[in-house]
Amino acid sequence: MTVSESLSVWSNRDFRLVLGGGFVNNVGDWLLAVALPAFVYIETGSGRATAAIVVIELLVAIVWGPYGGSLVDRWDLRRTVILTNVLQAICLVPLLAVTADRVWPAFIVAGVQGLLREVNAPASFALVPRIVPAEQLTAANAANAAGGSLARLIGSPIQGGFQRVLCPFQRDQGIGPWLLRPLEPGPTQPPVMGRFPRPHHRRPL
């Protein structure tokens, strides 16, 4: 891969659109991977429910992952990427129904998001060779991989920042007090004896 090849791939408008869209989608995936368990723990205070979310995400990736790539080869890649991105956004709506006594919508969201993710990811990678010439494919794959790594690095910290902003509304639940502990005022120092004047007592008549 020469320098000219690595630079010329950026002149491809379709590649820039695919790379930018994939980057935003990957940031959202990693943000959700951290935010969903934290959200469940804040709403329910249950460690078991939080662990169940993580287990569901892992099981879907293990079981459904090998089939997602094979299905992508039979479908239109562009439509598949667009449709899965739209469905991933819509599937977040059931989280509004999650409460301490009703956590099952979060389990469904975790499962469906995992299914869509295992279809969207291979479709995004398979779309690159369709829009990039063969001599620029190495540079395009390198840029695509770098974008995925960068999304992983910033997705989780962004969620942490959102958590700190939103936690004042959840101070009495879950991990809110723990995250806000650095912002809590320190203990007040007790007054030193003799610093304040004694109260004046009136002499009885």
Q: CATH no. for residue 40?
A: 1.20.1250
Domain extent at residue 54? 3-183
pLDDT tops 60 at residue 172: no
What pLDDT is stored for residue 177 in this prediction? 42
Is the residue at 202 inside a domain?
A: no
DSSP string, 95-113: GGG--SS--HHHHHHHHHH
Q: Are 92 and 109 in contact (CB under 8 A)?
A: yes
Cα 120 from Cα 32, distance rounded (Å) = 15
Cα 136 from Cα 3, distance rounded (Å) = 11
- Retrieve residue 139's tokens: 């540079």
Total of domains in the chain:
1
Number of Cβ within a 10 Å radius of residue 116? 22
Cα 160 from Cα 99, distance rounded (Å) = 21
Q: pLDDT grade, residue 181 (50/70/90)?
A: very low
Is the residue at 33 inside a domain?
A: yes
Cα 45 from Cα 41, distance rounded (Å) = 5
- First-to-last CA distance in the chain? 103
Is the residue at 191 inside a domain?
A: no
Q: Are 107 and 56 in contact (CB under 8 A)?
A: yes
Cα 52 from Cα 37, distance rounded (Å) = 9
pLDDT tops 80 at residue 65: yes
As a whole number, mean pLDDT of residues 115-134 equals 90
Is the residue at 188 inside a domain?
A: no
Give the list of residues 6+ apart from residue 29 with CB closer than 8 angstroms, or none.
117, 151, 155
Cα 100 from Cα 172, distance rounded (Å) = 13
Is the residue at 203 inside a domain?
A: no
Residue position matching structure tokens 């299914």: 115
The percent of residues in the chain predicted with pLDDT above 90, rounded, is 25
As a whole number, mean pLDDT of residues 4-14 equals 75
Is the residue at 160 inside a domain?
A: yes
- What pLDDT, in 10s, does the model give residues 91-120? 999 988 888 888 999 999 999 999 999 999
As a whole number, mean pLDDT of residues 31-57 equals 89
Q: pLDDT grade, residue 8 (50/70/90)?
A: confident
More confidently predicted of 131 and 171 = 131
Is the residue at 196 inside a domain?
A: no
Q: Is 137 exposed, middle or buried (0-12, 13-18, 19+ CB in 10 A)?
A: middle
pLDDT tops 50 at residue 196: no
More confidently predicted of 160 and 84 = 84
Is the residue at 45 inside a domain?
A: yes
What pLDDT is stored for residue 105 in this prediction? 92
What pLDDT is stored for residue 12 in this prediction? 86
Q: What is the pTM of this model?
A: 0.69
Q: pLDDT grade, residue 171 (50/70/90)?
A: very low
As a whole number, mean pLDDT of residues 133-144 equals 88
Cα 13 from Cα 131, distance rounded (Å) = 9
Q: What is the b/e burial string over 79-101, where b = at least 16 CB atoms within 10 angstroms of the residue's CB?
A: ebbebbbeebeebeeebeebeee
Q: What is the mean pLDDT of the chain?
A: 79
What pLDDT is stored for residue 189 in this prediction? 54
